[in-house]
Structure 1
Amino acid sequence: MNWVNLFLIFLIIAPTTACKILEVNPNPYGDEGAEYVKVWCDEPCIFTDEEDNFTVTGTAYIARNSTAFKEKFGFYPDFEGIKLSNSGEDIYLICSNRTDKFNWKFYRDEGVIYYRTDRGWDFRYEDWSDFDPVRDYVRGSIIITPAEYILEGKGIVASYFIAEDNFKGDFEFIVDANPVGGIPMEEYILSKKYKFHFLSSNSYKNFHYKFAVIGDRVVITTENWKWDNRGVIVDFKSEKIANLLRDVFYNDLKYESEMGKVDGSKESGSGKGKRIDFEAEIEVHVMPDSNPVFDFIENSRGYLYIAAPYINPEWFEGSPLIDAIENASKRGVKVKIMLNDYDRNLKVAELLNSIPNVEVKIVKSAEFDELHAKYFVSDGKVLITSANLNKYGLKLNREIAVVIYDHKVEEFMKNVFLEDWENKKELNAVFSLICLGFVVLIALYFIRRINK
């Protein structure tokens, strides 16, 4: 028996040492001397970046400069002298029978703190808030757009942008300073009538949430206050959740900046809409502080319906959204995913349709302009969110989500989904690819004739 086998036997029979790298902040805002690593081990271990070594026990902070760290965080680190690379590097915590290793090259930006979770490594920005989800038992209504809906009273409104004046009363607004495509002309006009704050931040890539608070009344929606797309409005009363969202509103005023460029006016429309009144327990999440999307998918058992304008599986490492859907399919969950009629959805639809128990349709309807709603239905609960299903909506943006625990609401949203899935004009993803190919062939034919 050689020494390698003897060492492996020793590792198996020896008591397991717990040692973990817990947090890394390699490129802090402000003074780079405040950069640090936080580790924990239950015996003397060596932390190293292959340039400097530190012998640590228990929980320890290792910073670049003690004074800079103290000024930023209010206490002194246990060690100083480390110099971390902004672009990522291997760091190690070496204990008697295991080594923990980490490299942050998967996502790099100023102000990012990487931290360990039960699922692996994650990250947050230094100035991100930390609002916990809030539960309450409420009475309210769900309205499916297109619909006519006017918000009346005195209160606050948060949105990515405001696409139409559907307000009567006295309102204060926070909106993204630089939405894709520019600020709508309607918003520019409204900013002369109401008090507007335009938000911009390096930490939040977009301020994409959509909510309003009037006293103890709360409105959460998937839409930018224009009701011609297929969308969802949740309107209810809750003092607890109203207080939470007021706190979010006034917290985010610290990101106020100048208004960005103004875009042209857009046409609007409305429809009859669908509505249900409900009494149920709900839970509101302020994202990215807490994100219910992955847990919702992972906890689905019988079926899972997902409606979204699009899905972009690109992530920082791996593809956790696709993994969560695939894991649901392996549990025997019947998954239906409905996407809007965008060309960019063709490839992801083909990918998802290749997974057993998963069926994807790309839909187009005369009833609404576009599918813009983002919602999930499964096993006695519904999740409605402002977040698009990409790395910005699910991680980097300011978003909002509400989970409603009620079989009546589940059945209502299930029927809304199936009506759009079954009864409207729909485009199968494979059929759309064939049509696209046919158009390309025709174009090539005429180009050749012209060249002749």
Structure 2
Amino acid sequence: MYHPLALLLIFILLAPVSAGPYFLEVYPDTWMKGDEDEYITIGWDDLPGPCTISDGEGTITLLPGYSASRSCTIARNGEQYKQVWGEYPAWEIIDSTPAIPQVTVQGRFQLSNKKDDLTLSSQGIICDTVTWPGTFQPRKGQIHIRSPDGRWDTRILMAGGTRLVPKTVENVTGIGFVSPDCSRQVLEETIKSAKQSILLNIYEFTDARLSDLLCDAINRGVKVSVLLEGGPVGGMPAEELSIIQKLSDAGAEIMVMEGAGEVHAPYRYDHAKYLVADGMRVLITTENFKEHSFPPAGYSGNRGWGVALDSVELASIFTAVFDADSDGPGVRTAQGRPGSMEEPVTKPYRPVFVPVSFTGASVTPVFSPDTSILVADLINTSRSRVWIQQAYIKEYPKNGTNPFLAAAIDAARRGVDVRILLDGYYYNIEGEQDNDEMVTSLKTLAAQENIPLQAEILYPEKAGLLKVHTKGVIADDQVLISSMNWNENSACFNREAGVIIRSSEAASYFASVFLTDWAGKKEVKAARGLPETDTGCIQMITLAGVLIILILLYRRYHRT
């Protein structure tokens, strides 16, 4: 038990500031030309008296009674602020409209983009200060906010984006599945069973047969809304423009996130991959809507993981994120055009895994950049195993440390069985610093420190796959399934979506998939989710072979 004086010291250290006013948000380097929409938000515990904010070159003064609430926003230009945020601030610095009161200004007060400092005083007493770089690192389009514990938030939260906090939903029922074995079955069943609404957020959509399913849903009265990335790497393919045209003609609402300039999207890429059906089911996948992502049964494609989760509470969380993203800046109505359709996959594949159901799971959504740190937390709390399957892993360019990879290495150092399996498709191994170099580096580290850290390349052609597109982790009895690649963009700048599932049934299922891929074999005799008919077939073939050999030996014996 802590001593009372120690508890008091902890409270003082974590408290935002004194009882006077304090800085809550600072937005110095905006997307708008001239930074006319820059703003400062201050808060307080008690109704403050006169206060001043100084940047060393100018001072603004607020008189008593400047707000009846416990916070207020002072923008440089109230009209420009409203253009961006949809409402007026409490105060403005320059006179843009009579609808907003002006602060008293002495000198030249304007926030510098790269380097500045602010001092907040009340009745001659300094109550709070903030500097950049220092208190935070400035970045164009980033809003710097204070967390409830009084510290400045280290997350990269851009203007117009969400500020989500972790939340866990209990007693969730679900179905686990993998590509290419059985993913299309679960996806088709989810779309076909929808009766009222389908919300789809997907990075790329080129599968014509999946668009046909959505058109069928529209024809039976289901409202379909789709949010796409408007500028994927390499540009939007012609096949996707055809899909947009077809879905729009059928009556779907199709939106793309691609804003630039003053109307800038809050995310570098909308890379999420999820579907919400009837406000009840959430389907999360590592895969885009492509033929090789959800191939028909019996055909090859990507290795990917997915889960369909039934929970009204969970669906409401994903619906709120979908609504916020589709209503946010940089989103417009999509424009398609008639054109070619994606070529169907033709390479055969013998499925090994079937979907598996589980109940009573605890599910925590993971959204990047808001709560991506939960991935590191998941690994940091592991005790027995951390098995990771990723398309690739990249160190962060500035400081060279990927926090997810660092957490995995630390787990191995405390004795956890850590295995990392990366893609061996040509474009992930042909460069000078990609998956094969990463695996070599990890193996070297494991040998030097004598820790239980293993790393391998899965060469997809040896397993009958196209490529490894999984973004998954199995940590003890928990499973992460998400759209998040292990690089800085995905964790800090993209919109990504995923879930952490606490369920021994789900963990066992995906662990069996992982071990099959880890072995690198095209077929296995037994694995979690393997249909009993397949096992029986193998046994019958083996028995028949033995009988044939015995008959031949018997005939040969009686001829001599």
TM tier, shorter chain? 0.7 to 0.9
1:411-452 CA distances to partner (integer Å, 9 max, x unpaired)?
222222122112438xxxxxxxxxxxxxxxxxxxxxxxxxxx
Corresponding residue for residue 364 of structure 1 = 459
Seen in structure 2, the aligned counterparts of structure 1 residues 294 and 51 have a Cα distance that, compared at 3 Å, is farther
- The offset of 1:360, in angstroms, is 1.8
More strand by share: 1
Answer yes or no: is 1:113 the counterpart of 2:193: no
Answer yes or no: is 1:147 the counterpart of 2:162: no
- The offset of 1:200, in angstroms, is 1.7
Mapped to 1, the partners of 2:469 and 2:358 lie a distance apart of 23
Corresponding residue SS for 2:217: strand
Residues 206 and 398 in structure 1, CA contact (< 8 A), matched pair in contact too = yes
Matches within 5 A, 1:279-428: 279=359, 280-291=361-372, 292-314=374-396, 319=401, 320-341=403-424, 342-343=428-429, 344-353=434-443, 354=445, 356=449, 357=451, 358-365=453-460, 366-424=463-521
Mapped to 1, the partners of 2:23 and 2:323 lie a distance apart of 35
Residues 227 and 255 in structure 2, CA contact (< 8 A), matched pair in contact too = yes
1:179-214 CA distances to partner (integer Å, 9 max, x unpaired)?
223334443333333233333233211111111222
Mapped to 2, the partners of 1:41 and 1:323 lie a distance apart of 39
Seen in structure 2, the aligned counterparts of structure 1 residues 120 and 239 have a Cα distance that, compared at 3 Å, is closer
Corresponding residue SS for 2:395: coil
Corresponding residue for residue 138 of structure 1 = 172
Corresponding residue for residue 531 of structure 2 = none
Counterpart among 195, 200, 211 of residue 258 in structure 2: 200
Residues 286 and 305 in structure 2, CA contact (< 8 A), matched pair in contact too = yes
Corresponding residue SS for 1:125: coil
* Letter in structure 1 aligned against 2:139: R
Corresponding residue SS for 1:387: coil
Mapped to 1, the partners of 2:104 and 2:382 lie a distance apart of 46
Seen in structure 2, the aligned counterparts of structure 1 residues 175 and 263 have a Cα distance that, compared at 3 Å, is farther
Matches within 5 A, 1:159-198: 159-164=202-207, 165-166=209-210, 168=213, 169-170=216-217, 172=224, 173-194=226-247, 195=252, 196-198=254-256
* Letter in structure 1 aligned against 2:438: V
TM-score, with structure 1 as normaliser? 0.75
- The offset of 1:124, in angstroms, is 0.8
Q: Which deviates further from its counterpart, 211-220 or 262-271?
A: 262-271
Mapped to 2, the partners of 1:192 and 1:145 lie a distance apart of 27
Corresponding residue for residue 89 of structure 1 = 115
1:243-292 CA distances to partner (integer Å, 9 max, x unpaired)?
33333333333312545898984552565252221112222233333322
Q: CA RMSD in A?
A: 3.9
- The offset of 1:21, in angstroms, is 6.4
* Letter in structure 2 aligned against 1:115: I
Residues 483 and 496 in structure 2, CA contact (< 8 A), matched pair in contact too = yes
Aligned residues: 408
Mapped to 2, the partners of 1:137 and 1:79 lie a distance apart of 56
Mapped to 2, the partners of 1:55 and 1:115 lie a distance apart of 22
TM-score, with structure 2 as normaliser? 0.62
Residues 63 and 69 in structure 1, CA contact (< 8 A), matched pair in contact too = no
Residues 177 and 260 in structure 1, CA contact (< 8 A), matched pair in contact too = no
Mapped to 2, the partners of 1:53 and 1:325 lie a distance apart of 49
- The offset of 1:236, in angstroms, is 2.7
- The offset of 1:372, in angstroms, is 0.4
Seen in structure 2, the aligned counterparts of structure 1 residues 334 and 116 have a Cα distance that, compared at 3 Å, is farther
Answer yes or no: is 1:237 the counterpart of 2:316: no
* Letter in structure 2 aligned against 1:416: V
Q: Percent identical across equivalent pairs?
A: 25
- The offset of 1:322, in angstroms, is 3.7
Seen in structure 2, the aligned counterparts of structure 1 residues 313 and 37 have a Cα distance that, compared at 3 Å, is farther
- The offset of 1:223, in angstroms, is 0.6
